Structure 1
Amino acid sequence: MLLTLADYEVAANDALDSAIASFLADGPGSSRAVHRNRDAFQRILINPRRFVDVGRVSTTTTVLGREVSCPVLIAPTGLQQLAHPDGELATARAAARVGTVAPAAALATYPVERIVEESRGAPVWFQLYDYGRKQVDALLARAEAAHCSAICVTVDVPRRARMREHDRRNGFRPTSRVPLAHFDGSAPPEVRPVLLPTLERICATTSLPVVVKGVLRTEDAHLAVGAGAAGIIVSNHGGRESGSAPAAIDALPEIVDAVGGRAEVFLDGGVRTGDDVVKALALGARAVLIGRPSWWGLAVAGEDGVADVLSILREELVETLAHAGCADVADLDRGFVRTEGPQ
């Protein structure tokens, strides 16, 4: 019986080829940043209120002007056919069932047009890196024509890193295992660092709101908002790019303060329970994103697994809100949390 995301993690590790499971789970530097994301949540305590009627608890919110049933979004990840033959299509259908955002990544194994079709009206964010102006413009036009609801620019991969240690040990090249739908099935162009003029041009070119993913410093948040970003995702790429990156949740409050309501702020990295969602929202996040947990659900049971992972988080969120004395996610603020400090 799969009752928690931890249960799904175990089941997914059993279901996946060991090289794929390692690719999904690990990060550089002995996965220190992966563990740091989780450990940081444990230092944050929920500070409950009393004398509050929590007979009915609301998890509904809005994200970039679109209503979602729960402030848990699916992070944009590519290569999803590594986890299940239906890949991104199953994830999009699950997001639609639960009423949240579905992702379409540049490295998706199904084309954005099909992902949007399978999302059945749920908002779809299209994620991209800087592959050079010609390629970026083509992808932007394609995302707009497909009726995506936002563009998500990932800025924390300044270059294509050499294969991660665990992949080198396993002789595992993930892009050789599955098709890349937006690059005619072949390897994508070389990743370039996203510089400020590039972000400014993307924001000025597209008619869609732009969300910048991978911000950990306040000055970068200021620059992104100044360039025209409608959203900031505080993220260390799930600990997958640098083992020395700080935990995303530790960077969240100062970035929320720096943005000052000029853009929506989201948190990506380490979310595994409804408690984690409450902590992130209390510290100022509009919503959180999950990456690995959605893959666990996908690997175990396709669309149904992803939908169940989302439903588990929503049920845990309702329970945590009730125990916190908060009847609506919109009412969460920093008074609901205390921080023990680094151990």
Structure 2
Amino acid sequence: MMKIHPKAFSATKRKVLIIITVILLSIGAVIYGLADRYLIEHVEVVVADDTASTSSTASTSGTGGTTSTAAVAADVNATSDDWNYSSDDIQIKIDQVQTGTGSDLITYYVADVVLKNSSSLRSAFADNSFGTNITEDTSEIASSNNALFAINGDYYGFRNDGVIIRNGTVYRDEPARDAMALLEDGTMTTYDEEEVSSLELLAEGVTNTLSFGPILIQDGKIVSDFSNVKIDTNFGNRSIQNANPRTAIGMIAPNHYVFVVVDGRKEGYSRGMTLTELADVMAGLGATEAYNLDGGGSSTMYFMGRVVNNPLGKNQERGVSDILYIKE
């Protein structure tokens, strides 16, 4: 029988331990890198909070809206119920729509919004901070900003590219995809981030941009091909071509918007929509411009203190980076 010299055995053992250590360190570095990219909060800017004096009175309990929202409604002599709001400056009408049957049943919500002034349509960040992996539920962000109505935004914090202008401030300028812009004259436009600079956008009166997509309707025409849609190349990103929960914004005329949130992934309630189906819905509502926002578990519609839809068919919101909201 061949004998292994103790020194040789010790050297072999040391080599094995070194190899194992290197492998473990490499795995740890990969795990930390993924966590740093997708889980750990990175606050770049804390945004000045102009609602601090009133947000402390907000409450999302019940269906009658927040205390501060109700107070505002009273101040402007507005009338409202669970599906409608009307004041001199803001008109909101929400409808639940169901189409199809059985496994093909689709449930979605349409909010028709008419504003007197474009400044009533705003954006807000989770935790009032700009950065990556900073999230709150849509309803939490909406309540903190005393919103009458809100939808989830583009979840900009999941990625580190795109052009992000919010409430007239440029927070990120890394052109990457087709985007959507809201302007101070109450109009909405879609554009290629790589063809228009942030300075040009601001000069044209852009107040907010969202970077997700794809464009659904541009210049009154449905974009014809959704077969090769690419939004992200991030780790864990899934295809968005199939039927999914959806969120979209469209413009019918200046200061006249339509917001659509589609529920999904719950058999017998709603299967979700394809992008083609969503574009058809927006066209049927009269949208001349329409844009797809973050969907899936993010898709949420909030109105007067309650979540209107059924996120993921579980009545459970997913934290998001940002919202679009309506406020007196």
Task: Settle same-fold status: TM greater than 0.5.
Answer: no
With the length of structure 1 as denominator, give the TM-score of the two structures: 0.31
- The higher relative CO (CA closer than 8 Å, separation ≥ 6) is in 1
Return the index of the structure with the highest Cα Rg. 2
With the length of structure 2 as denominator, give the TM-score of the two structures: 0.32
